[in-house]
């Protein structure tokens, strides 16, 4: 479930070339705060995925609602 969520979220990533060849900027619009930049596009993708993974872990730890991506939910059902 987690790998599928990360894969689906990364498919929604958008990348831009920074002005004056300063590198690349990436973000996932549906996930506030999931942004990254790096010198290369591949580096930006890797950094964005790392930010996404940390964002998910922190969000789950803090009990934040993690948005559903392509029908994939990370909602934790409490067991009685």
Is residue 78 predicted with pLDDT exceeding 80?
A: no
Write down the pTM of the prediction: 0.90
Q: Tokens for 6? A: 């990360």
Greatest Cα-to-Cα distance within the chain, rounded to the nearest angstrom: 56
Quick one: pLDDT at residue 44? 98
Q: Report residue 79's pLDDT band, with 50, 70 and 90 as the boundaries.
A: low
| Helix 2-11 with 41-62: angle, nearest 10 deg | 130
> Tokens in use for 10?
């990364």
Identify the CATH assignment for 2-62 out of 3.30.930.10, 3.40.190.80, 3.30.70.3270, 3.30.160.250: 3.30.160.250
Alpha helices in the chain (DSSP H): 2-11, 41-62
3-state secondary structure of 53: helix
Domain ranges of the chain: 2-62
Mean pLDDT of the chain: 94
CA–CA dist 41, 30 (Å, integer)? 20
């Amino acid at each position: 479930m987690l790998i599928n969520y990360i894969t689906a979220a990364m498919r929604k990533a958008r990348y831009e070339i920074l002005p004056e060849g300063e590198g690349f900027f990436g973000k996932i619009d549906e996930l506030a705060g999931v942004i990254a930049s790096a010198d290369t596009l591949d580096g930006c993708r890797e950094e964005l995925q790392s930010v996404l993974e940390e964002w998910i872990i922190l969000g789950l730890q803090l009990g934040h609602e993690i948005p559903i991506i392509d029908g994939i939910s990370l909602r934790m059902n409490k067991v009685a």
